[in-house]
C-alpha cells in the first residue's frame, strides 16, 4: 500500500514542479507566491483536521523542522527553475533519495540490498555525466548549485517526515505545523523584500530621474529598436497583471498540488522503508522531464541524455526492487 501512496504523491509533486517552472518565468514575486502555497496548505490541513479531529501531541512539532527544510528546498527549486535549464533542475529533484538512503542508514540502520546499491551507483554515474556534459554553461552551473540545495533539503524533509511517523505524530496536525512554519518563513521573506524595495524606491526618487532617463537615451544611441521596445512593453504588461492579490491567489492554487502530495507522503513513510518511499516519490521528475521535452522543446546533448537515462534507470531499478 505504501507504493500506491508514494506513486500518487509523485503525481502531485510532478504537477507542482510544472506549475513552479511555468510561474518562475513570469515577473512575479517568488516569496509572495510561495507564501500563498504554504498558506493554502495550512488552511486545507486545518479544514480537513476539523473534520477528522486527529490528536495534537508533542511529536507534531517535528513539523516545524519539516517546514524549515521544505522552505529552503522549495525556494531553491523555484530559483533554480528561473535561472537554469528545466531538465537539469528536475534531475536534482530526483536525487533526494541519495541523501535519504545515506542518512537513514546512519540514523535507523536501514540497509540497501544489492539491487538498491547498484541503482544508487547508476544514479551517481548519471549525475556525473550531466555535470561534465558539453552543454553545461556557467548559467547552467548556477542552476546546478540551486539544484544541489533542492536535493539536500528535500532529502532532509523526507527524513523528518519519517521521524514524525516513527514518533507517532498524527498526520494532519504535523502538516498544520509544517505549513504554518513555512507560511511564517515565506511571509517574513516577502515582508523583508518589500522593505528593501521601498528603500530602493526612495533612493531612486531622491536621485534625478531626468538625468537617468537622459543617460539611458544616450546609451541606447536612439536606435529605435521596435522589437526590444515591444518585448519590454510585454514584460511591463505582465508586471501590471501580476498584482500582489493575483500572485497570492495563484500561489494558493499551486499549493493544492503541494498539500495533496504531502498528505500522501506521511502514510507512505509510515508504511514503507524510508529510502524506497523517497525514491518512488522522486520519480515525479519523469513528469517534469516530459513537460520539458514535449512542451518546452528543450534539447538534450548526448551526455546529458545519457546522464538522464542512467539516473532514471537507477530510480526504476530501486522501484522494481521494492516490488
Look at residue 289 and tell me whether its pLDDT is greater than 90: no
Position 134 scores a pLDDT of 47
Would you state the cell numbers that stand for residue 117, as one nine-digit string? 546499491
Q: Give the confidence band of 316 by pLDDT, cuts at 50, 70, 90.
A: confident
Q: Give the confidence band of 224 by pLDDT, cuts at 50, 70, 90.
A: very low
Residue range 199-225: mean pLDDT, rounded: 62
Residue range 199-213: mean pLDDT, rounded: 69
State the Cα–Cα distance between residues 80 and 153, nearest whole angstrom: 14
State the Cα–Cα distance between residues 146 and 219, nearest whole angstrom: 34
State the Cα–Cα distance between residues 11 and 30, nearest whole angstrom: 23
Domain boundaries, the chain: 2-185+250-322
Q: What is the dihedral of CA 86, 90, 93, 98, to 10 degrees?
A: -130
Residue range 223-251: mean pLDDT, rounded: 70
Task: Work out whether the CA dihedral 50, 55, 57, 63 comes out positive or negative.
Answer: negative
Look at residue 221 and tell me whether its pLDDT is greater than 60: no
Unique residue bearing C-alpha cell 498528505: 263
State the Cα–Cα distance between residues 282 and 95, nearest whole angstrom: 7
3-state SS record for 190-202? HHHHHHHHHHHHH
Position 126 scores a pLDDT of 73
Higher pLDDT, 223 or 201: 201
Position 214 scores a pLDDT of 55
Look at residue 199 and tell me whether its pLDDT is greater than 80: yes
Residue range 34-56: mean pLDDT, rounded: 95
Unique residue bearing C-alpha cell 548556477: 142
Cβ-based neighbours of 171, under 8 Å, separated by 6 or more: 54, 263, 266, 267
Side-chain-facing half-sphere of 56: CA atoms under 13 Å? 7
Cβ-based neighbours of 307, under 8 Å, separated by 6 or more: 91, 125, 126, 127, 128, 129, 130, 131, 133
pTM of the model: 0.78
Q: Give the confidence band of 40 by pLDDT, cuts at 50, 70, 90.
A: very high
| pLDDT tens digits, one per residue of 141-194 | 556 788 888 889 989 999 999 999 999 999 999 999 999 999 999 999 999 989
State the Cα–Cα distance between residues 263 and 97, nearest whole angstrom: 19
Position 295 scores a pLDDT of 82
Residue range 62-81: mean pLDDT, rounded: 88
Position 223 scores a pLDDT of 46
* Of 126-135, 217-226, 307-316, the least confident: 217-226
Percent of the chain, pLDDT > 90?
A: 34
Look at residue 107 and tell me whether its pLDDT is greater than 90: no
pLDDT, mean over the chain: 81
Q: Give the confidence band of 227 by pLDDT, cuts at 50, 70, 90.
A: low
Higher pLDDT, 201 or 53: 53
State the Cα–Cα distance between residues 23 and 194, nearest whole angstrom: 20
State the Cα–Cα distance between residues 71 and 51, nearest whole angstrom: 27
Angle between helices 86-93 and 114-131 (to 10 degrees): 160
State the Cα–Cα distance between residues 310 and 279, nearest whole angstrom: 14
Residue 279 phi/psi, 5° resolution?
-75, -30
Q: Count each helix (H run) and each strand (E run) in the chain, helices first.
A: 14, 0
State the Cα–Cα distance between residues 225 and 289, nearest whole angstrom: 36
| pLDDT tens digits, one per residue of 79-103 | 887 777 776 776 777 778 888 888 8
Position 233 scores a pLDDT of 55
Unique residue bearing C-alpha cell 535549464: 85
State the Cα–Cα distance between residues 291 and 237, nearest whole angstrom: 26
Amino acid at each position: 500500500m505504501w507504493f500506491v501512496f508514494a506513486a500518487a504523491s509523485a503525481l502531485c509533486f510532478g504537477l507542482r514542479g510544472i506549475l513552479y517552472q511555468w510561474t518562475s518565468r513570469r515577473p512575479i514575486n517568488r516569496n509572495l507566491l510561495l507564501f500563498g502555497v504554504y498558506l493554502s496548505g495550512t488552511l486545507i490541513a486545518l479544514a480537513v483536521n476539523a473534520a477528522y479531529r486527529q490528536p495534537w501531541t508533542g511529536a507534531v512539532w517535528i513539523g516545524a523542522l519539516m517546514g524549515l527544510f521544505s522552505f529552503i528546498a522549495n525556494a531553491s527549486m523555484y530559483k533554480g527553475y528561473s535561472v537554469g535549464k528545466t531538465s537539469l533542475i528536475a534531475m536534482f529533484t530526483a536525487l533526494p533519495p541519495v541523501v535519504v538512503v545515506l542518512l537513514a542508514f546512519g540514523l535507523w540502520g536501514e540497509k540497501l540490498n544489492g539491487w538498491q546499491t547498484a541503482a544508487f551507483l547508476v544514479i551517481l554515474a548519471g549525475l556525473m555525466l550531466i555535470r561534465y556534459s558539453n552543454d553545461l554553461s556557467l548559467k547552467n552551473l548556477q542552476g546546478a548549485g540551486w539544484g544541489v540545495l533542492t536535493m539536500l533539503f528535500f532529502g532532509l524533509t523526507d527524513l523528518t517526515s519519517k521521524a514524525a511517523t516513527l514518533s507517532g505524530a498524527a498526520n494532519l496536525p504535523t502538516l498544520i505545523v509544517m505549513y504554518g512554519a513555512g507560511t511564517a518563513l515565506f511571509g517574513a521573506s516577502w515582508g523583508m523584500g518589500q522593505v528593501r524595495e521601498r528603500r530602493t524606491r526612495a533612493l531612486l526618487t531622491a536621485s534625478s530621474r531626468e538625468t537617468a532617463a537622459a543617460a539611458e537615451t544616450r546609451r541606447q544611441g536612439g536606435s529605435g529598436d521596435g522589437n526590444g521596445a515591444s518585448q519590454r512593453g510585454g514584460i511591463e504588461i505582465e508586471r501590471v497583471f501580476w498584482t500582489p492579490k493575483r500572485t497570492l491567489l495563484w500561489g494558493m492554487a499551486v499549493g493544492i498540488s503541494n498539500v495533496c502530495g504531502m498528505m500522501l507522503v506521511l502514510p507512505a513513510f509510515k508504511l514503507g522503508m524510508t529510502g524506497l518511499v523517497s525514491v518512488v516519490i522522486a520519480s515525479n521528475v519523469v513528469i517534469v522531464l516530459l513537460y520539458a521535452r514535449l512542451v518546452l522543446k528543450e534539447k538534450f546533448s548526448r551526455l546529458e541524455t545519457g546522464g538522464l537515462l542512467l539516473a532514471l534507470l537507477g530510480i526504476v531499478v530501486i522501484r522494481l526492487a521494492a516490488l
